[in-house]
Structure 1
């Protein structure tokens, strides 16, 4: 759990209740010898807008750019500061000033071992050579306020630490905060307060660019949570950048997609947030998180979560050095950048999230990324992938059968086919959300049961014309689904079985 609902005090109290009496049997993470809890993960109460403490840092003795234009893991920035890593160290300068780099003081266990750094909002994530996470907090304040921690995971960001998922091709740090972002917008067009805390994730591009795993510091120490790439996971990305829960990906053909998504936005955090698949358009927005959570007169968070949005093609040469950063409050306040060339000039192409076209900014800096093909046509589905092998089927005592094909933990919704004994059929939609867990879960589908929050959706047209449907369909909708368009259900999945509680039916791998 990252950004939580009702205010900072209520957040911590509620989480304490969730985890009370529980132990964490997490994956083993070697303690690097410095793991202060500090104040990592808490919202900034006050921010020192001065540069106090900067003058005490030693001037950088390495060659660094005068300006940082991209949020990568070699160089990064937030609203106030630019960061870079060279030779295992971290360097900082004022973002609005050319040059002036100084050496960041690091914990002894991290100094000389930094392999990557990513800044967003008031936090900086550093990864050491073993892939371990180190977080620096208060990164929008003066350097004298900065503090480091290797803690990560349950409870309350005080766990033993975590690492990048195996096979990570690219990673990025993302922070959605009440102080900087204020609100985010769902698919019904309603704005929702970020809450009393923040949403912080490491997003990692894995599995040859076909999966995105995200690692939240308030969730168990594992690598189980995923966000599918575009086209139901068939899109093969070569680069990833995320800021304030907005991810930007590109493939080798220069096709760009963005998506607003994190643990809370996905629908997973039902302890602190109220979600609904019912149409929330036109309902008033709640004045605060408490009212939104408990008062049904206000709009709930619309599900399903926002999907990937295709971005226009860049009209020029580009590389795989991409970047997204926040520019102000609200989930539309994002700027996209991609390194490239125009008319023989080096620089970057840029656009605001909702702009219809890109513009070019010349920097004169040499190109660093790998040049992409950037086809003039959409080739986002031109990287064939094998469908998920997890097909399930079961027969009820009443004689009707249910079938789920190519189930994927990161892809939703999934078609759910009901077939009756007389040959009539009913096509339903099964929405699944990877819910809140307190114990580590193996990635993907395995012999360990994986629990989902599910919702069965019935076509609105079919519900309207129910009296005209075959008898078997009418009876199923009325008796099993209660005559409702949306039916909530728990779903449990293993490599051999698939249980849908609302149907009272267990399906077997087929």
Structure 2
């Protein structure tokens, strides 16, 4: 048995322990008259690099472009195939070919009803007119291997299906895989194996462009998981594209940001991965996922997860048709594209993720997207949404008080201020990660308790300056926090209260 097969067996065994004895809510999403099972979510098989089965597909009878340059939900591509949707159907051609579009075979209840399609890696996500998910597997293989599934959700991608979050402005399918990507890099500069399975998400831009909800097929059938937009979740985007867990957003003034983020990278998947807020720089990288998970000699995944990075302004006209796609192994192998114009010619602006500037590629095709203002100056903060309204405060039995302001489920870290009766105070940092759930959770903050994996951080400066603090502050840091920089804690939040287990304290909504 190969090392990869051993890892996969170990993963499946751990999954069995996680799901043993768990119950899931029954949610009917899929059309009962159309429930294709498919192979999506199952272990990878060998890729057939031929085009077997392509000639059996009927030639397309609609007008389609010779070449697709930008990944959208009307036209998309992976490294082998280009897909497009017109009039409710899906069409395909070889990515390197200038012509040869053919009609993809669809399940009966999906044919004629496709509202969007997005390809990444070896999977294609199609959304029907009701927002329901249909996934095509083996999209890097020959067409004869392609098959569709309406399954989505826990356990193990066998759930009843899911739909786009309400109010979705833009969405994208993202797949980070061990076969194509191999590794990704954390904020300590360490590369980590993707794991024994792929990380597949639908990323959806919602709430007027302020929020990004992601829907993982191994997680509950809900819309509760989020990735914050830039500026603490207050940035308002008009477009989104995601590939291999790298998201690209832009506002109406042409300010671009990218972020490497998914459920595993966020710190949420403690069943399969080992994370740490302690500095992991300089530690050796693990040779594989299993060693990383069980051997403390190797670098753990550095937390917090990577934040948004601002990209340079495009030196020309642009539209809201933006795109990111993978170009090779590793999380830096990404290309960004945005439709636009330069010198009177239409085309697209492009840059590799790490390039310092954009270059223009002329296509001389009509612009499709809405033209953005693209101010030459940074206007990221011009349209920031209001801060989160969830403020909490309370007093402990010992007499010290605590305060959390503008808490947001998708934003971390959050300042945690402690005030003491003798006039002293400590500014702490509260890290929160939305943990692994197997039952549905309402989105946002509601009366349903929402549980986070938390870590209280006493900054190095605060630790070094304890001797200058008040006696009460010194006592708190040394006795309650154990004199440590990091203290793990569970955190439970509702729209009325905020409980921090390590402090044995519940704050009330203020």
Q: Same fold (TM over 0.5)?
A: yes
1-structure distance, mates of 2:360, 2:156? 43
Name the stretch that deviates more: 378-387 or 495-504. Answer: 378-387
**Aligned residue in 1 for 2:272:** 272
**Aligned residue in 1 for 2:179:** 179
Alpha carbons 2:422, 2:470 under 8 Å: kept: no
Q: State the 1:17 CA deviation.
A: 1.6
**Aligned residue in 2 for 1:20:** 20
3-state SS in 1 of match to 2:212: strand
2-structure distance, mates of 1:32, 1:375? 50
**Aligned residue in 1 for 2:132:** 132
2-structure distance, mates of 1:88, 1:401? 58
Alpha carbons 1:26, 1:222 under 8 Å: kept: no
**Aligned residue in 2 for 1:390:** 390
3-state SS in 2 of match to 1:264: helix
1-structure distance, mates of 2:250, 2:169? 13
Alpha carbons 2:336, 2:353 under 8 Å: kept: yes
Q: Check if 1:416 corresponds to 2:416.
A: yes
TM-score, with normalisation over the residues of structure 2?
A: 0.98
**Aligned residue in 1 for 2:66:** 66
- CA distances 1:443-468 after superposition (whole Å, capped 9, x unpaired): 00000000000000101022123233
**Aligned residue in 1 for 2:262:** 262
Q: State the 1:151 CA deviation.
A: 0.3
Unaligned runs of 5+ in 2: none
1-structure distance, mates of 2:186, 2:108? 43
**Aligned residue in 2 for 1:483:** 483
Q: State the 1:27 CA deviation.
A: 4.1
Q: State the 1:473 CA deviation.
A: 1.1
**Aligned residue in 1 for 2:437:** 437
TM-score, with normalisation over the residues of structure 1?
A: 0.98
Number of positions where the alignment pairs a residue of Structure 1 with one of Structure 2: 507
2-structure distance, mates of 1:26, 1:5? 32
**Aligned residue in 2 for 1:195:** 195
**Aligned residue in 1 for 2:226:** 226
3-state SS in 2 of match to 1:7: helix
2-structure distance, mates of 1:27, 1:306? 33
**Aligned residue in 2 for 1:473:** 473
Q: Check if 1:462 corresponds to 2:462.
A: yes
- Aligned 1:318-333 pairs, distance under 5 A: 318-333=318-333
1-structure distance, mates of 2:305, 2:274? 13
2-structure distance, mates of 1:195, 1:350? 30
2-structure distance, mates of 1:165, 1:32? 21
**Aligned residue in 2 for 1:94:** 94
Distance verdict in 2 for CA 1:445–1:114, change over 3 Å: same
2-structure distance, mates of 1:470, 1:367? 64
What's the RMSD between the two structures over aligned residues?
A: 1.2
3-state SS in 1 of match to 2:264: coil
**Aligned residue in 1 for 2:76:** 76
**Aligned residue in 1 for 2:365:** 365
3-state SS in 1 of match to 2:451: strand
1-structure distance, mates of 2:21, 2:471? 50
Alpha carbons 1:5, 1:290 under 8 Å: kept: no
Alpha carbons 2:413, 2:431 under 8 Å: kept: yes
Q: State the 1:15 CA deviation.
A: 1.3
Q: State the 1:11 CA deviation.
A: 1.9
**Aligned residue in 2 for 1:344:** 344
1-structure distance, mates of 2:386, 2:364? 43
- CA distances 1:67-111 after superposition (whole Å, capped 9, x unpaired): 111110000000000000000000000000001000000000100
2-structure distance, mates of 1:12, 1:138? 21
Alpha carbons 2:30, 2:162 under 8 Å: kept: no
Alpha carbons 2:27, 2:160 under 8 Å: kept: no
Q: State the 1:36 CA deviation.
A: 3.2
- CA distances 1:110-145 after superposition (whole Å, capped 9, x unpaired): 001000000000000000000000000000000000
Q: State the 1:5 CA deviation.
A: 12
